[in-house]
Chains A and B, each alone.
Chain A
């Protein structure tokens, strides 16, 4: 069995060391982002720009996967980077800087989702049609495959989006980080500030729920 495809990104496992303060000891972690963050905190705007350039695509992908909407994801990424800019001096995270940024992004997106629920509840905004969420943006990669294939791909994406949206927040975060961001259990634990066992447990429950939902659809 080929299991390498399960995690398409070759992301390094973050070293966990309680004794190291990454901001003051960037070399100890081998994470170049720590130096950029330290320089950002010191007022070096070029360092911040480089940090944004290095991570904007990754954060945009995560936010769009969690929120399901391109416009909201772009706003969310901007807000996340502004938080990173403001908090750079107070950075205490043990591990890679990008997992810290993932944590900020995940929290921000879930706040956004809760706000969206309230707006929808009081009827101030037209309800989001799930089938419109993030699937209207792109056609399948191979347009030559024909309209039927395109329609099939679109239905597949919509079904996935519905399945993800039905998951409780904690399971959804774990699933998106594992499946679509290719993070290891250890990295997910670091992002969400939970144990590896909790990651495994949430992912297992999420997969159970998804399998059942898929069986019901058949």
Chain B
């Protein structure tokens, strides 16, 4: 005697067994209360799956579809994918735009001059900047020549003018 397995019971429940096999399952169910219990469990799980009824399509829905098809509104290629994922694309574009604005504003704020004109002489940074400006305005040769003269005169004064 062939045994009946759970998969066969599911097919029986769904009306998918050939007639001869269904008869065989029914006989087995009559003989075996445990098998009947398995079938009841399957049936209970199956019938407990419920979702709310779906409302009909709104009025004019089919007309809208036909008009879209007729008008060739559906764009092709990249535009098509943009249309299909419009929510995603819009959100990404908005995020990119926002990031760009934030980065731009931050850069602008960071690069603006932070020196108060009224306190220019008190700012040591400004002094350094002025020194650098002076340095680049001079030619390199002049700079070294002046430095040498300054150092020479300092040495002369400290040694009592012994080298000249």
**A interface residues (Cβ-Cβ under 8 A, vs B):** 1, 3-7, 45, 48-49, 52-53, 56-57, 60-61, 64-65, 70, 73-74, 77-79, 81-82, 85-86, 115, 118-119, 124-125, 134-135, 137-138, 140-141, 153, 156-157, 160-161, 163-164, 175, 178-180, 184-185, 200, 203-204, 207, 210-211, 214
The A interface is mostly helix, strand or loop, or mixed, namely helix
Is B51 a contact partner of A65 (Cβ separation < 8 A)? Answer: yes
| Complex partner residue of A135 from B6, B41, B52, B87, CB under 8 angstroms | B52
User: Top 7 nearest A-B pairs by Cβ distance?
Assistant: A124-B91, A85-B69, A52-B62, A138-B52, A61-B54, A49-B66, A211-B45
Write the nearest CB–CB distance from A100 to chain B, whole angstroms.
17
Assuming the contacts A45-B70, A82-B74, asked whether A210 and B49 have C-beta atoms less than 8 A apart, the reply is yes
Write the nearest CB–CB distance from B71 to chain A, whole angstroms.
11
Write the nearest CB–CB distance from B14 to chain A, whole angstroms.
5
Is B91 a contact partner of A119 (Cβ separation < 8 A)? Answer: yes
Is B65 a contact partner of A78 (Cβ separation < 8 A)? Answer: yes
B56 within 8 A of A: yes
In the complex, which residues of chain A have a beta carbon less than 8 angstroms from the beta carbon of B55?
70, 137-138
B64 within 8 A of A: yes
Is B69 a contact partner of A48 (Cβ separation < 8 A)? Answer: yes
Is B65 a contact partner of A81 (Cβ separation < 8 A)? Answer: yes
Instruction: Name 10 interchain pairs, CB-CB below 8 A, sorted by A.
Output: A48-B66, A53-B62, A56-B65, A61-B54, A65-B51, A82-B68, A119-B91, A161-B51, A175-B49, A200-B11
B92 within 8 A of A: yes
Q: Report the bound CA distance from A138 to B54 in whole Å.
A: 8
B46 within 8 A of A: yes
Q: Interface 1/0s, chain B 36-66, versus A by CB < 8 A?
A: 0001011101111111111111100111111
Is A6 a contact partner of B7 (Cβ separation < 8 A)? Answer: no
Write the nearest CB–CB distance from B142 to chain A, whole angstroms.
60
Is A207 a contact partner of B45 (Cβ separation < 8 A)? Answer: yes
B84 within 8 A of A: yes
The chain B residue sitting closest to A53, CB to CB, is B62
Is B15 a contact partner of A180 (Cβ separation < 8 A)? Answer: no
Write the nearest CB–CB distance from B78 to chain A, whole angstroms.
16
Q: Report the bound CA distance from A163 to B48 in whole Å.
A: 11
Assuming the contacts A118-B88, A124-B95, A204-B7, asked whether A157 and B52 have C-beta atoms less than 8 A apart, the reply is yes
Q: 8 Å CB contacts to A: which residues of B61-103? A: 61-66, 68-70, 74, 84-85, 87-88, 91-92, 95
Is B41 a contact partner of A211 (Cβ separation < 8 A)? Answer: yes
B13, B55, B66, most chain A CB atoms within 10 A: B66
Write the nearest CB–CB distance from A72 to chain B, whole angstroms.
9
Write the nearest CB–CB distance from B5 to chain A, whole angstroms.
10
Assuming the contacts A60-B57, A70-B55, A179-B46, asked whether A119 and B87 have C-beta atoms less than 8 A apart, the reply is yes
Q: Report the bound CA distance from A190 to B26 in whole Å.
A: 29
Write the nearest CB–CB distance from B85 to chain A, whole angstroms.
6
Is B10 a contact partner of A156 (Cβ separation < 8 A)? Answer: no
The chain B residue sitting closest to A54, CB to CB, is B62
In the complex, which residues of chain B have a beta carbon less than 8 angstroms from the beta carbon of A204?
6-7, 10
Write the nearest CB–CB distance from B15 to chain A, whole angstroms.
5
Q: Report the bound CA distance from A57 to B10 in whole Å.
A: 29
The chain A residue sitting closest to B43, CB to CB, is A1
Is B65 a contact partner of A185 (Cβ separation < 8 A)? Answer: no
